[in-house]
Structure 1
Amino acid sequence: MEEMRAFFQEAAYLPGEREILVSERFRQEDGPALWRIRALREEELTADVEEEQYAGLCAAAVCAPDLSDRKLWESYGADSKEELLQRMLTPGEYLRLLEAVLELNGYRERKQERKETAKNSFGRA
């Protein structure tokens, strides 16, 4: 039973929120405005995350700026958090955000593990 305690909910934690610089274009008085992102639990996602569905993952992970702010939506003429991100960010900025969200939520580790597994399997064949 002792070895199972590590898997109990009270022992499991998500990484803390992280501030990232997505773009120099969003400025505050003291410099660039930082974005804040968080890790998610699988149950928070509305669909399996495939490459074409990363917008939902990013929208769910962004804590700041508040992507549910109606005035922000109106400013960009957006109808959803996902559309807001697409209208706010350049492709490079979006990629920077996506990479940080994927890393914080463990996707980069999974990709590396799959690569190693494939490499090891190929070497044995």
Structure 2
Amino acid sequence: MGDLNAFLSQNAIKVENRKYVASERFIGEDGKAIEWELKAIDSDRDRQLRKDSTIRVPVLNKKGKATGQYTSETDFNTYTLKLCVETVVFPDLHDAELQNSYGVMGAEELLTTMLTPGEYTDLSSEVGEVNGFDRTFEDKVEEAKN
């Protein structure tokens, strides 16, 4: 049996924030692209984001008619957007001045307005990595060996 102490909160290795250039279009005074800061969220917050991204969908019969029953589905586009907003620490997407400069209200609308579709797709991929969604079982085994 393994050492249970390794699982104690104070012994767990904390997930570090990650710097990431989301776009080459945002240039600092030094002429270089400004790095965004990303942080992992915890499972409780992730559960809440998934819940907030759940929609009711009518159940259809074989003829395509509504049966009066509903099922729940996660809208993954909404979930991904909420996860990105929650993970981005810098720039502060909730900053009113930044939102006003783009003529939008809300962090989600700001993020999709600030970035091109390709930049947003790259960011969402990076956000997935930061939150541990990219690691395969083989990756975890290899990491455990080291």
- Normalised by the length of structure 1, the TM-score is 0.79
Structure 1 position 108 matched with structure 2 position 134: yes
Structure 2 equivalent of residue 92 of structure 1: 118
Unpaired stretches in structure 2, ≥5 consecutive residues: 54-73, 138-146
SS in 1 for 2:85: helix
Q: Is the 8 A contact 1:14 1:39 kept in 2?
A: no
AA in 2 matched with 1:47: L
Instruction: Give the superposition deviation at 1:44.
Output: 2.3
Alignment of 1:34-45 (within 5 A): 34-45=35-46
Structure 1 position 58 matched with structure 2 position 84: yes
Alignment of 1:1-125 (within 5 A): 3-30=3-30, 31-45=32-46, 46-48=48-50, 51-52=76-77, 53-109=79-135, 112-113=136-137
- Normalised by the length of structure 2, the TM-score is 0.69
SS in 1 for 2:134: helix
C-alpha distance in 1, partners of 2:14/2:103? 34
Structure with the larger helix share: 1
C-alpha distance in 2, partners of 1:14/1:88? 30
Instruction: Give the superposition deviation at 1:34.
Output: 1.0
Instruction: Give the superposition deviation at 1:2.
Output: 6.5
**Higher Rg of the two aligned structures:** 2
